[in-house]
Amino acid sequence: MSPGDHYRQIIELSEDCILELDATGRIASVNRHGLDLLQAFERSDVLHRAWQDFWPPALHPVVHQALRRGLEGQSSQYTGTLTTLRGAQRQWSVSIAPLSDAAGRVESLVVVGRDITEMRRVEQALRTLNASLSSQLQGAESQVMAASQHNQYLEATLTQAQVISERRRHLELAALQQRDIAEAARAMAEHTAMQAQKGEAVGQLVAGIAHDFNNMLQTAVAAISMVTDAPETLTPIQRKLLGRGNEALGHATAVAKRLLGFARQHPVRAEPMDLQEVALEMAELMQQSLAPDLQLVVERQSQPFPVIADRHSVGQAVMNLCINARDACGGTGRITLRCDQGQVSQDWATHLRAAGDYVTLSVADTGSGMDQAAMSRLFEPYFTTKPEGRGTGLGLAQVYALMRQAGGFIDVDSAVGVGTVMTLWFPRAHVSLGEAEVPPALPAASGSDLSA
Ligand SMILES: Nc1ncnc2c1ncn2[C@@H]1O[C@H](COP(=O)(O)OP(=O)(O)OP(=O)(O)O)[C@@H](O)[C@H]1O
Ligand SMILES: [Mg+2]
The CB of 317 under 6 Å from ligand 1? The reply is no
The domain that holds 57 is classified in CATH as: 3.30.450.20
Query: Other CB atoms closer than 10 Å to residue 411's CB: what's the count?
Result: 23
The reply to whether 315 falls in a domain is yes
Q: What is the whole-number distance in angstroms between the Cα of residue 262 and the centre of ligand 2?
A: 15
Partner residues linked to 337 by β-bridges: 298, 363
d(CA 441, CA 437) in angstroms, rounded, equals 12
Distance 397 CA to ligand 2 centre (A): 9
Burial 310-339 (b: 16+ CB within 10 A, else e): bbbbbbbbbbbbbbbbbbbbeeebbbbbbb
Among all bound ligands, the one having the nearest atom to the CA of 384 is 1
What local confidence, expressed as pLDDT, does residue 439 receive? 39
For ligand 1, atom 9, which residue shows the shortest CA distance?
324
Q: Is the CB of 384 under 6 A from ligand 1?
A: yes
Note whether residue 404 is domain-resident: yes
Predicted local distance difference test score (pLDDT) of residue 450: 34
Q: Is the CB of 321 under 6 A from ligand 1?
A: no
- The number of the ligand 1 atom at minimal distance from the alpha carbon of 378 is 12
Nearest CA owner, ligand 1 atom 8? 324
Single out the residue in 115, 143, 163 at which a domain terminates. 115
- Ion ligand 2 neighbours, Cβ < 5 Å: 324, 395
Domain limit, last residue, from 62, 95, 115: 115
> Which atom of ligand 1 lies at the shortest distance from residue 422's CA?
1
pLDDT at 260: 65
Residue 57 lies inside a defined structural domain of this protein: yes
Best residue among 286, 322, 336, 386 to mutate for probing ligand 1, ranked by most atoms within 8 Å of CB: 386
Tell me: the pLDDT tens digits for 188-223?
A: 556 656 655 565 566 666 666 766 676 677 778 777
Would 102 be classed as within a structural domain? yes
Decide whether any atom of ligand 1 lies within 6 Å of the 447 Cβ: no
Task: Return the pLDDT at 408.
Answer: 93
394 lines ligand 1 (CB under 6 A): yes
C-alpha to C-alpha distance for 243 and 264, rounded to whole angstroms: 31
Question: Amino acid identity of 63?
Answer: V
227 lines ligand 1 (CB under 6 A): no
d(CA 318, CA 436): 23
Task: Give the separation between CA 322 and CA 295, rounded to whole angstroms.
Answer: 11
**Which of 115, 136, 158 is a domain's end point?**
115
Q: Is residue 192 part of a domain?
A: no
Q: Which ligand is nearest to the CA of 400?
A: 1
Q: What pLDDT is attached to residue 69? A: 93
Q: Check if 365 has its Cβ closer than 6 Å to any atom of ligand 1.
A: yes
Determine the structural domain holding residue 283 and report its residue range.
266-427
* Within-domain flag for 41: yes
Ligand lying closest to the C-alpha of residue 385: 1
Supply the pLDDT for residue 182.
55
**Residue 405's CATH number:** 3.30.565.10
Per-residue pLDDT 10s for the chain (452 aa) are 566 677 778 888 888 999 999 999 999 999 988 999 999 988 899 999 999 999 999 999 999 999 999 999 999 999 999 999 999 999 999 999 998 888 889 989 999 999 888 888 888 777 777 776 666 666 666 666 666 676 676 677 667 767 766 777 766 666 665 556 556 556 655 665 665 556 556 666 666 676 667 667 777 877 787 777 777 888 888 888 888 888 888 777 766 765 665 555 555 678 899 999 999 999 988 887 788 899 999 999 999 999 998 888 899 899 999 999 999 999 899 999 999 999 999 999 988 899 999 999 999 999 999 999 999 999 988 899 988 767 778 889 888 888 988 889 999 999 999 999 999 999 999 887 654 444 333 333 333 333 33
Is 447 inside any structural domain?
no
Specify the residue with its C-alpha closest to ligand 1, atom 12: 378
Ligand 1 touching residue 213 (CB < 6 A): no
Q: Is 381 in the pocket of ligand 1 (CB under 6 A)?
A: no
What strands lie across the sheet with 89-100, from one edge to the other?
27-30, 17-21, 106-115, 89-100, 76-83
Query: Is residue 360 domain-resident?
Result: yes
Ligand 1 atom closest to 392 (CA): 26
Kindly provide the residue ranges of all beta strands, DSSP E only, lying in 47-149, ordered along the sequence.
76-83, 89-100, 106-115
- Which of 315, 360, 361 shows the shortest CA–CA distance to 336? 361
How many domains in the chain?
Answer: 2
